[in-house]
Structure 1
Amino acid sequence: MKIGIGMPTRDPDTLLTWAERADAGPFSTLGLLDRLVYDNPEPLVALAFLAGSTSRIRVQTEVLLAPLRETALLAKQVATVDRMTGGRLVLGLGVGGREDDHRAANVDQSTRGRRLDGQLAVLRRLWSGEPYGDGAGPIGPAPTRPRGPEVLFGGYAPAALERVARWGDGFLSGTAPSKAGGLFDTVRRFWKEYDRDGEPRFVAQLNVALGPREVIDDARAAMHSYYTFTGIADRIVAGMLSTPREIREAIAGFADLGADEVMLYCHGIDPDQVDRLGEVST
């Protein structure tokens, strides 16, 4: 099973160090979260920059809030990053739950799921080289794969899980192994209902921090700030794993569920966590 690493969002100046260390280590993928009304780097821009400073590691949005973006431009941006990274882009997509993000993007939050479904139809068509329509022709460049990069969907509602089978290549889970099994089974059921070939990819995310007490405390504080809007930030922070044993057991749990990859997501900015986590994951 592959192990990726999610980078902190608070300090863009540190991300190059994180990326270069991860690229030199055992990690398969670099992940970056997305928000609009928050002090974080825009993920497509940041990952494009980091891909230019790495040679093999994949770059993954985790997850990109597609409904906040104009569809034709998003198609072009994604295809550009995919093409210029040699197919190393993995596009994790979701709808987002922050009212202020949608307000700033002038998007009706209540329609975000329907908007995403409509966007996927257009994105797949454009990445296949078809005209945009309404008097507008194709939008390039052509991505590395004929129908665009690998697409994962995050979310927990039935509509989000069905979306994996309708439009995607796999599922991105943000829950503990004890809760993820039912979600995986539901995705597999939808996959069969849509008569999809093969199996969906399953990518799991674990919130982790390794290091001295001040590193762990800093990560917990950053997580709490990021997830305050959910109303359950204390519960989310309590689930952060901070010992090698906890992390190894969670990775093993996801392996038992059939996960293809686990993303170890770090909210603390100390880049030495990359080396510590590399030792745990090998």
Structure 2
Amino acid sequence: MEIGVALPQMAFGYGAGTTVEWARAIDAGPFSSVSAGERVTFGNPEMVATLAACAAVTERVRVLANLFVLPQHPVAMVAQQIGTLDQLANGRLEVAVGVGGREHDYRALGADFSRRHQQLDDKVAELKALLAGEPPFEGADPVGPACVRPGGPSILAGVMGPKAMRRAARWADGITGFSVAGDAGEIAKTNDRADRCWAEAGRGSAPRKVGGCFTALGVPDASEALRAFTARYLGFLGPELADMVAASTRASSPEALADILDGAAQAGCDEFILVPAVTDLKFLEVAAEVVAAR
């Protein structure tokens, strides 16, 4: 199982140099990918610009957009962003798409929050056509730049429930899941569901399965830092539920992280993403030691 690291873009202390410092350190470590996510009404940097910087200063790791909330955006613009990122990364780009869960982000972007799953299905089909070089309408030029890989990068689905998983099995190359606590049983349930849905859809190969969890390492009171980060990030759920979920987190020591990674591997993950709750680069030193010991 590969181990990737997300940028700590949602954590306190993310500053002018954080993107480049972390991307270079991840590229130099025993990690498989550098990733970032999309959120609008929060304090994080924008995903595409952030990943462009990562692509420009890395050479080895994959660059994972995890994920585009596709119903929020015009598809032609997303296709151009993907082509540009793939060009900067020289073909190392991987893309995930999903419907998101924060209505405020949709409202901020003037997007329709209804029928999100149908919107996702429709927009993925349009996105694939554009990445394959089809023009957006008759008489138009194709959307550029062309991706390094013909047809564009692999597309993962940010889905977990059975209905969404069955829909994604028709068009995705795999899934990107998440367990706040890094629970092996929860991860296995999601991965098993993906395998079943892919088989039921008649897909010729098993889905790629990516998991992840929130993590705090290399700082004093790491467990408290992890809980505080999680509660703040999930604040849109309401304070009571956010605090309850935050209390379940446990990836705040090398030993706990090693146990979580073992569980994720046994649950069938092809890659597991560490999502940092802190911006201290000591995080990567400790994480690298855990990964190197596996």
Q: Given the two structures, how large is their TM-score scaled by the length of structure 2?
A: 0.90
**Is 1:131 matched with 2:135?**
yes
User: Could you report, residue by residue, the CA deviation over 1:45-78 in whole angstroms, capped at 9, with x for unpaired residues?
Assistant: 1011111111111111222211111111111111
**Is 1:114 matched with 2:121?**
no
Counterpart position of 1:245: 255
Is the 2:184–2:263 Cα contact (8 Å) retained in structure 1?
yes
Write out aligned runs for 1:71-150 (5 A): 71-150=75-154
Write out aligned runs for 1:216-255 (5 A): 216-231=223-238, 232-238=241-247, 239-255=249-265
Measure the CA separation in 1 of the matches of 2:31 and 2:192. Answer: 27
Deviation at 1:260, TM superposition (A): 0.5
Deviation at 1:205, TM superposition (A): 0.3
Counterpart position of 2:216: 209
Q: Which runs of 5+ in 1 are unaligned?
A: none
Is the 2:215–2:252 Cα contact (8 Å) retained in structure 1?
yes
Counterpart position of 2:271: 261
Is the 1:219–1:267 Cα contact (8 Å) retained in structure 2?
yes
Whichever residue aligns with residue 47 of structure 1, its letter is L
Measure the CA separation in 2 of the matches of 1:220 and 1:179. Answer: 19
Deviation at 1:37, TM superposition (A): 1.1
Cα distance, 1:84–1:212 mapped onto 2, change above 3 Å:
closer
**Is 1:43 matched with 2:66?**
no
Counterpart position of 2:187: 180
Measure the CA separation in 1 of the matches of 2:7 and 2:242. Answer: 19
Whichever residue aligns with residue 192 of structure 2, its letter is D
Is the 1:21–1:275 Cα contact (8 Å) retained in structure 2?
no
Q: Given the two structures, how large is their TM-score scaled by the length of structure 1?
A: 0.94
Cα distance, 1:62–1:240 mapped onto 2, change above 3 Å:
farther
Q: Which runs of 5+ in 2 are unaligned?
A: none
Higher helix proportion: 1
Measure the CA separation in 1 of the matches of 2:97 and 2:8. Answer: 18
**What CA RMSD, in Å, does the superposition of the two structures yield over aligned residues?**
1.6
Is the 2:222–2:252 Cα contact (8 Å) retained in structure 1?
no
Whichever residue aligns with residue 7 of structure 2, its letter is M
Measure the CA separation in 1 of the matches of 2:245 and 2:84. Answer: 35
